[in-house]
Structure formats: structure tokens, C-alpha cells
A and B are shown apart, each in its own frame.
Chain A
Amino acid sequence: MSVKVKLKPTDFDSHFPTWCPGCGDYAVLMGLKRALAELGIPPHEVVVVSGIGCSGKISDYIKAYGYHGIHGRVLPTAQAVKLANPRLTVIAAGGDGDGYAIGGNHFLHANRRNIDITYIVMNNQIYGLTKGQASPTSLPGHKTGTSPYGVVDYPMNPLMVALAQGATFVAKTFSGNAPHLVRVFKEAIKHRGFSFVDDISPCVTWNRFNTYEWYREHIEYVDENRDYNVHDRLEAMDKVKEVMSRGKIPVGIIYVEEGTEPGDEKYRKLAGGIAPIDADISVKEEYLEYLKQFE
């Protein structure tokens, strides 16, 4: 991150979103602009890599370098942008289908690589853009276009997956609580390493089951009066398990591991501290050393 400059959230304004009024993704967009402004990161040093889905449109709506890729491939792209140029602040963003279904494998591996990016999943427990099919986080019994008799499969637990895969920053926030969301985003961006934020971002059009009200009734904030050590992975897992066992949704900064070397720094070290973007690519005599083995 570069020298702090005075910025306003409106400095990140771009095209006006085409989301439905009330969509949880608005709060993510606003929150991201606010967090970036408050952290003083100028738009041209930010890259927002997004997937496909309603949520994936976010890179179109924020003034920053954007990469609106294909369905499910947010994380590889975003990690490589950071590996290529560590001076950039990289935000990866997408939906629950994008990140947990079609891109699920990359989620596993991003947690273990610990590259210094922030990954925000706008989790609405539904496929929004394709008009209401079940997602990996849809709850059993939920009737959707593809689950006319109710969802059969057990839902995925992204927090536990991240914790089990070695994530160094795990949080859950809620689009219905903007101050919380901004605080979580800021901490996530500041964290050195892979920061995972699962945001409850209600889809007001296709998910009439998990509504704002429903979420408000189910959310339990673990970071108000925290009763476990946020730096202890097993305690964090226990906490998530315990809250969920009571039918509640744990929200808050769940786990933070400090001091672990980010993956991109490890790769940079292998290359003598030089990032690919700064590498000299002029044609050099020293290349010829390679050919000796074939003489």
C-alpha cells in the first residue's frame, strides 16, 4: 500500500449499479468504497477481480482497475495480479455459486497459498443472475428452481473450510449492518495474507426464504463480547461449531493469524526480492549460461 492520501468514497464512483433495489450487494459496493477511501488507497492502485453473477458485476461499478472474468475463476486471477505486482491492493469478489461451487477448488487452494489479497463472497444462498437456483449454501428444504421439492444436499460451511485449509483471516459480515461491514473490510484489507470475508448479501428477488429479517433473527455477533481467543484456530472452529449448533449464524471477525509470511512474499524471496513486474526483461548475456548443459 502506498502513501496515504485523503480520499472520499465518492472518489471510487463509477457506473451506477443495475442491481435490484434492496440487493445486499449495494452495501458491499458502498462498504468497499468507504474502506478503501478510509485506508487512503487511490483507485489506480486497486484491482477488483470479480466473477460472474449479480455479485460479479461489482468490478463494473467501482472506479478501480477491474477484471470481470469468467464464472468461478476469480481467485487464480486475483492471486496472480498480486504476485505480479505487490504494490497493488487486490480485491477478489464474487457470489456463493461462483466461489463455492464452480470455483470451489480455487477457494481451497487460495487458503493454503495465503497470498495477500482480500476475497469477498456475496453469499445470498442462491444463484441470483440465473434467476433462482439452489447454491452450495442453500439450506436443506429450501425450494428453488432446481430444488422444487426442497434442497436435498447438506450445505457447505465456508468458514470451517477456510479455517481447516489454513486461512489466516476469516470473517463473516452482513450487508444489513454497514458499519460492521466497513470495519471488517478494512481489517481484511489491512491483514497481510489471504483474507476471507463471507458477506451475507440478501437477494431480495430470488431468495424469499433467507430475507433480511430472517438473517437478523439468526445472526449472532461473535466479536461483541468475544468469549474466545481470535488468534486460536481451534477455538475459532469451536466457536463457529457451537454457534451453529444452536441454529445461529456466527458473524464477526472469526479468526486472525498475525505474523505469518504472506505467500506472495515467499515467492518473491525465491526471486531475490524482485516482483515479476519489476524484473528486467532486456536480453542479457547471462541467459547463455543455460545453454552450457547442451554443449
Chain B
Amino acid sequence: MKKNDLTFRVAGRAGDGSLTTGDVLSKIWKDMGLWLATYKDFPSNIRGLPTNMTIRLKDRQIYYGRKNRLDYLLAFDDTNVKIHLHDLVPGGVIIYDNSVKKELPPELIRDDVHYYYAPLKKIAKEELGLEVIKNIVAVGVASYLLGMDQDRTKEIIYKFFYARKGEKIASSNVEAFLRGWNYAKENLQKKDEYVVEEVPDAKKTYFIMGNEAVAFGAIVAGCRFISSYPITPATDVLEILARELPKYGGVMIQAEDELSAINYAAGAAYAGVRAMTSTSGPGLSLKTETIGLLVMNETPLVIYVAQRGGPSTGLPTKPEQSDLFHAVFGGHGDAPRIVIAPGNVKEMYWMTIDAFNLAEKYQTPVILLTDQILAQNKFSVPVEDITIEGVRIERGKLLTQEELNEIIEKEGQFLRYRITEDGISPRSIPGQEGGIYTANSNEHQEDGYTTEDPKMRTAMMDKRLRKIYQTARKSGDLPEDLIHGYEDAEIGIIGYGYTYGPIMEAIENLASEGIKVKFLQMRTLWPVDTEKLSQFIDSAEKVIVVDHNAQAQLSTLIKIVYDNHDKLEILKKYDGYGFTPEIIEKKVKEVLSYVG
């Protein structure tokens, strides 16, 4: 019997409701006390093309929603059986909706896989009069086959739909569930070994999407202005804040384009409001000129970037980490900014708060860099990982009217861009008496007035560099890069963002085979903590850089800041799919084979 450890995929065509089926199943399993992680794989299209969602569940912490091999496939048509057939493990299961094609052709029959046929669509249409409800019929079939408790599941489904759609819809969904359950009970003979059972005394968790965690982080951090232009996979943040910010005196402006989005946000930030803009690669390209402006006029702004496959429109709904160069170096001129990258949902929440504090303390744009996998998938997180306890709002050298008066009294004048030892100047906001200055995109002197004086130019540039490369770098304020796994391991791995998930799982799997690995999870991508990075590289025999793009951007970034390259092994991928634990495990073994 295989209990409470399952990789389950729902696959259909866009419009089939595969994602809804996945959502309902996840909700049921979550309420049964299981830990989950999803992997949504959908095309950039509303109807017609194949779409699927993978849900992984365990009775303990789970890092990632995708694996190479699959246990369970729920396929709404034969095309989807064909696509996913060879991902199934021996002993795996296919539930096939045979409403249209009664039998699968011989080439889609594997003799090491269990097949269950159920006319889901037909039951929905003919017995319930509503084709879309086939999703819930499917849930009924799957629940029966997985040996789940009927009453408990029924209750969860009822509550789920009752809360969203009311009594009538809740009842008809329960009815659909029962039809599926009964069909399975009467017609299908359980042959496989998978079961999912309620976990006694389960830990309380939230089941939350990365974008939902970022939006919450923004609210808690005191963000009261967002302006963006819709783009997958970042749009959720804009939609959530459109709904939530007005509750707290905030404003959402859906901008006419990304050029304006970031400038709206900048205007609010300049006026003294915590502000952000959110986007993905194409939007980041349009926002880039303004990032340089914000470096120049020292305006704090959080820029949330959820990466997707590029270049150009690229793979709009698929993951990639190919905007690293752009995030770190994008734009003209010397424009250092802070780039931070959370690796999981908990960090997405906390590092959003960090981003707002860093932006104001260092009066700089901060890029919060994530990716489609973290942004759009849901993960179980213990409730104590997302709390408001310990949240601090740090506004740096933003002056009150009294502090401004004191400066003027003491120094005779207020200089917004005063050249200070730490590179950070006192900041006034419009409306304050005595705080007048021009936030200037031209090089400027200490009061903000345009200058081309070579001495002043040099001093101003040095000041802007100093606050990032010295003050921020040495402050302990930047999210620390973390070392996971076994400190004394010979093989190291470096990664950032979502690859935290598959790498952590690979470390666990390898450990069970007696292979020790350590992992440097980079969380501040710029400015890089070169001491920690170099020590990590020096302490290993070989270091695998997990790089989800074609030009090995993370590896290149590491090479720029540290010249001991010989140890680096690049593990690249750019086919539109996330790394899996298996891919990483294989690479580790390959490297081990020639290290020792």
C-alpha cells in the first residue's frame, strides 16, 4: 500500500476545467491534513490546448510540485493520455474519461499501468444536465479509488462550494461527487496500491500561492500604492491589491502601459507613500529606463518581477530564470540597485516586507525577483511561518517636519542629496516646509540642481555606489544567502528562486542514498555577498550552478564577482519546464562519478 505520498496530475484541454478539478482536490486533501505543492502547466490560450496541473501530497513538508515521474493521471481525453503516459511510474494509474472514445487504442496501453475508464462527461451531461460538472464527477471517482472517506470528502466539497457559490451550487456539486463515487464503486475494481487518508493531529497550514503571499507582504509592509499593467505571471498581485488596498487607504492604478506604471508608482513614492509596481520580463524591459531614474533621484520603489520564458513574448505562461542579467544590470549608465530573490512562499512574504524596508532605508529601487513557478503555484506553509509578529516598518532617513526644522536650524539649510559618509541623505517629502528640492534625472548637486561639475559628478556617483556596495552590503539588512544540506559535503549546489524546491528535495533523496550535498541558496542577487559565495565555492570540490536559462546567467554573475571558476559545473535548462529533483540528482551523481 502506498499511503499519503502521491504525485497526481489532472490533464485536459484549456476550458476543460483541469485547474478547477485540481483546486477542489487540493482543498480536500489540505483539509485532510496533507501537505501539498502544485505545478500548473497551461498554455497562453483560453480554450483548446492541453492544460494540466500536478499536485503532490505528503504527510509532511513538501518543497515542490513537480517530479519526472507521476503516480496518478486523470485525463479528460485520449490526447492527454498520450502526452503524459510515459511519465507514469510502473504501478501508476490512469483515470480516463471515455465519454467520447470508449476504448484507448493499443499504443496507449501500458501493461504496467492500471486503467480505470469512467464516462465523466456523459454522467455530467446525461444524469446531471451540466457538462462542466464533470470535474466533480471526476473528483468522486478519484476519491473512491484512493480509498478516501466518503462523508468527510462530501462535507469538504459542500463547504468549499457553499462558501463561494451558496447552497444550491454546493448541493449540486455534492450530487456530482456522489455520482462519480457510485459509478466507481459499481463499475471499477481497485487494482492499484495508492491511498490517501486523513492525517491525525495535522499541523495547521495555509495553502497559498506565491503571488498571494507577495500581495499580503505588501499590505503588511504598508504599501499603499500600486500601479502596474496586467501580465502573466504577475497579474494576481495587481488584482489582489486592487481589492485589498482601498480597505487600508491605498490606491491601485491600472496604468496605460508599463512605462507609465512604474512612473505612477514613482510619483507616489516621491510623495512619501510606500509604493510598488509589478510585472514580468516584457514589462521589465519597458520599466528599465525608469529604474535608472530612481537610482539617480534616489526614490524608494519596490519592483516585483515574476520571470517567465523569454525573449520577447517568449513562453508567456512557462517558467524561466532568464531575466537575471536584466534585473541586475538592465539599463544605461552606472545604476546599482538591490535585487533580492525568495525561494519559497514563506520567503515571498517576508522578503516583500524586506524589499519595502530596503527601498526606503537605502532610497533605491529594489527588484523582488521571482518566477512563474513560485508566483502561480500553491504550497502548504505552516501558519506560524506567515505572521505579523516581528514585522518592522523601517523608513530610514525619511524626515518628520520636526527633524527637518532641526536640520535647518543647525545647518542653515536642507540638502536632499547631502553627501554623507554612508551615502544615504536625509529625505523630505512634498508638503514639508523647508524641504524643497528637485528630484533630478540629470546629475545634480546636493540641493538637486543640475550640474556637470566633474568633482560634484564624481562625488555624487561615488555616494550612490557607496550606499549600495558598502553601506547596504555591510549592514546585515540584505536577505542573507542560506546554506542548506551537509556542510562537509564535497559537492555544492548554487541556485535561487524556485529551484530551492527541487534542490531541497534532491538533497533529501540523495541523503537517503548516502550522498551528501550542500546548497547555497542565493537570496540577495545584487549586491552579491562575495565572502559567503567564495567561501562556499572554496569549501567544495565541485559546485553545480542550477541555471534555468540558455546563457547560464547565474553562473556568469558568479564568475563576475568571484574568479575561482574551475569548480563550477553548469546545469542549464530552457525548454519551458521547471527543474525536477530527478534532474538535479542525476547531475550530482554524474559530477560525483568524476570527482571521486
Give A residues with C-beta under 8 Å from B. Answer: 15, 42-45, 47, 49, 52, 57, 59-60, 63-70, 72-73, 75-81, 83-85, 87-88, 105-106, 108-109, 267-268, 270-272, 274-285, 287-288, 290-291, 294-295
Give B residues with C-beta under 8 Å from A. Answer: 204, 206-208, 212, 216, 219-220, 222, 224-225, 227, 244-251, 253, 255-257, 259-261, 263-268, 270-275, 289-290, 293, 297, 383, 386, 388, 391, 393, 430-442, 448-450
Docked-complex contact A84 and B439, CB < 8 angstroms: no
Contact A291/B438 with A76-B263, A270-B246, A281-B393 known, Cβ cut-off 8 Å: no
Roughly how many angstroms separate A20 CA and B389 CA in the complex, as a whole number? 59
Contact A44/B272 with A81-B430, A88-B430, A279-B224 known, Cβ cut-off 8 Å: no
Q: What is the CB-to-nearest-CB distance from B375 to chain A, in angstroms, rounded to a whole number?
A: 16
Roughly how many angstroms separate A270 CA and B219 CA in the complex, as a whole number? 16
Residue among B266, B274, B442 facing the most chain A CB atoms (10 A cut-off):
B266
Docked-complex contact A85 and B260, CB < 8 angstroms: no
Residue among B391, B439, B442 facing the most chain A CB atoms (10 A cut-off):
B439
CB<8 Å pairs between A and B, sample of 28:
A44-B436, A47-B430, A60-B440, A65-B435, A66-B437, A66-B440, A67-B270, A68-B441, A69-B263, A70-B263, A76-B259, A79-B253, A80-B271, A81-B271, A84-B268, A85-B430, A88-B430, A105-B259, A106-B259, A109-B260, A268-B251, A270-B251, A271-B249, A276-B250, A279-B250, A287-B220, A294-B207, A295-B383
- For B266, the chain A residues whose CB sits under 8 A away are 69, 77, 80
Docked-complex contact A84 and B272, CB < 8 angstroms: yes
Contact A85/B271 with A15-B449, A76-B263 known, Cβ cut-off 8 Å: yes
Docked-complex contact B264 and A63, CB < 8 angstroms: no
The answer, among A52, A88, A281, for a CB contact under 8 Å with B274, is A281
Roughly how many angstroms separate A283 CA and B393 CA in the complex, as a whole number? 8
Nearest 10 A-B pairs (CB), nearest first? A279-B249, A80-B267, A281-B222, A66-B438, A274-B249, A84-B271, A76-B263, A77-B267, A76-B260, A294-B206
Sample of 12 further A-B pairs with CB below 8 A, known A73-B263, A105-B259, A294-B212: A44-B436, A47-B430, A60-B440, A60-B449, A65-B435, A66-B439, A68-B439, A68-B441, A77-B264, A80-B225, A281-B224, A281-B393
Q: What is the CB-to-nearest-CB distance from B267 to chain A, in angstroms, rounded to a whole number?
A: 3
Docked-complex contact B219 and A290, CB < 8 angstroms: yes
- For B253, the chain A residues whose CB sits under 8 A away are 79-80, 83, 267
Docked-complex contact B436 and A68, CB < 8 angstroms: no
- For A64, the chain B residues whose CB sits under 8 A away are 436
Select from chain B the residue with minimum beta-carbon distance to A112.
B256
Roughly how many angstroms separate A294 CA and B210 CA in the complex, as a whole number? 12
- For B275, the chain A residues whose CB sits under 8 A away are 80, 84
Docked-complex contact A76 and B255, CB < 8 angstroms: yes
Roughly how many angstroms separate A203 CA and B247 CA in the complex, as a whole number? 49
Contact A79/B264 with A60-B440, A271-B250 known, Cβ cut-off 8 Å: yes
- For B248, the chain A residues whose CB sits under 8 A away are 271, 279-280
Q: What is the CB-to-nearest-CB distance from B353 to chain A, in angstroms, rounded to a whole number?
A: 10
Contact A87/B256 with A278-B249, A287-B220 known, Cβ cut-off 8 Å: no
- For B386, the chain A residues whose CB sits under 8 A away are 291
The answer, among A57, A281, A288, for a CB contact under 8 Å with B388, is A288
Roughly how many angstroms separate A285 CA and B438 CA in the complex, as a whole number? 38
Roughly how many angstroms separate A277 CA and B225 CA in the complex, as a whole number? 10
Select from chain B the residue with minimum beta-carbon distance to A43.
B436
Q: What is the CB-to-nearest-CB distance from B13 to chain A, in angstroms, rounded to a whole number?
A: 29
- For B448, the chain A residues whose CB sits under 8 A away are 66
Roughly how many angstroms separate A248 CA and B85 CA in the complex, as a whole number? 75
Select from chain B the residue with minimum beta-carbon distance to A73.
B263
Select from chain A the residue with minimum beta-carbon distance to B256.
A109
